[in-house]
Amino acid sequence: MEKIKVRGLFCIAAWIFNGVGFAVFVLGLFHAFLGEPEANYYSPQKWDFVTQEQWLRWSGFEVSYGLACLGLGYLLLRYANRVPDWVEREKSESQDPFL
């Protein structure tokens, strides 16, 4: 018999989703209220290449994507409480250590 840790996989995935979601959410808020596209630095007039409406649409996408990742991470953490810590199974007869 061999023991396989199961709950840790869900927790690791949840923390990755939470980290990425938080970073994208904060970046989206920054872009919505303080940031501007780099095209504004090189164009003759501000908001010439990328309109302000397009920029706000993009930052709204960033905010919603970040919130979706945070929600998925939260659900994975909640689901991890229902999964057992360890699962035992029969040891395979294969010589390959990755199978």
pLDDT tens for 36-91 read 999 999 999 999 999 999 999 999 999 999 999 999 999 999 999 998 888 787 87
Task: State which H helix or E strand residue 87 sits in.
Answer: strand 86-89
| pLDDT confidence bin for 95, thresholds 50/70/90 | low
User: How confident is the model at residue 97, as a pLDDT?
Assistant: 65
Q: Residue 72 carries which DSSP code?
A: H
Contacts of 72 (CB under 8 A, 6+ apart): 17, 21
| pLDDT confidence bin for 2, thresholds 50/70/90 | confident
Total count of residues recorded for the chain: 99
